[in-house]
Structure 1
Amino acid sequence: MLAPAGTGLGAGLALIIAIGAQNAFVLRQGLRGEHVGLVVLVCMVSDAVLIAAGIFGIGEVVRAVPAVVVVIRLAGAAFLLAYGAFAARRAFHPGTLTASGQQGAPGPRAVLATVLALTWLNPHVYLDTVLLLGTLANEHGELRWWFGAGAALGSVLWFSALGFGARLLRPVFARPAAWRVLDGGIALVMVFLAARMAFGF
């Protein structure tokens, strides 16, 4: 039982610890200290649902109907371009970019909508989390759910560390210039990921 769970933990962490739209958003919310618990919870629950879907065999549907992935890819690319544009605007117009006490901060509904879009409009989440992790899990036969539990635990550990651990960097982001660099970097990442999604490279 422990061996499949450990393998799942390693596989889950290997796939999730990468520079991406979702991780960038979790980091930014953690630095700002805004609705961090909500963002982390949505990411963890979403990953658990997607991993379970893969173990149940939903990955075969994704494989059999590639048009679904194409639609998600184009929608995700459009969303990432828009999010990147907002990040670029913040970088060039840092009127309220400080670690705390920002004006015009998004409410919980806007944050919830953004994290759901960044998670569920990402075609790679279906290819990696559903298809790949689902396939790896099912290779363990009756112990596949232990693998899935390990992979889900990886998401819990990563998003908790990223979201709640970001506060350790707040002294660095007490200066508006640091926020400009962060948002500029986020804008570049979003545009790159959008292009990658749209053109499939």
Structure 2
Amino acid sequence: MVRTIAKDHDEKRTQILKSAAKVFADQGFDRASMSLLARECGISKANIYHYYDSKDALLFDILDTYLKDLRETICGIDLEGLSPDERLHAIITATLQAYQGADNEHRVQTTGIPALPSEQQDTLRGYQRDMVRQMSEAIGAIAPEVFEGEKGKLYATTMSVFGMLNWFYMWNSRAGADAREDYARLVTDLTLNGVRGL
């Protein structure tokens, strides 16, 4: 007999992912046991195995869910009719707003991706590449003459912008939407003025 899916299955799965992300972020993937994960999720060890057959499967689902949603947000922005400056600001703002409430997932991706099998790593890095490409195209459009024949310079500039955004949670993780918008404007202005001065 096929086991039916509980009505609150998706809600419980989401709660497991959030709780497990906190454990992995705080304890590290290697030190987190399924027993500890179950306890932090407020369910039995047997119940967590109903959702995930291994710690690796749980880690992949955390990162796959987080990075896929992040990519859809960042790459799904309607940039039609915006100037290059406005496109960059829109992408930076969307990125910072999407990071809100996902500090644990953000921390886990740094150490978690290398712990997964290569096929899964490729999937997750594909999401990251899509986001980097979106940002890179926006930065390149600001001053194309600066980056012509300079792929390395464009990549370094793109990753520097992500660096400013990715570390925001380290010193201002509780910032709300308004503070994130203010910081997005700051990063945009720094980038625009810096790019034109390269």
- State the TM-score, normalizing by the size of structure 2: 0.31
Say which structure is richer in helix: 1
The structure that has the greater radius of gyration is 2
- State the TM-score, normalizing by the size of structure 1: 0.31
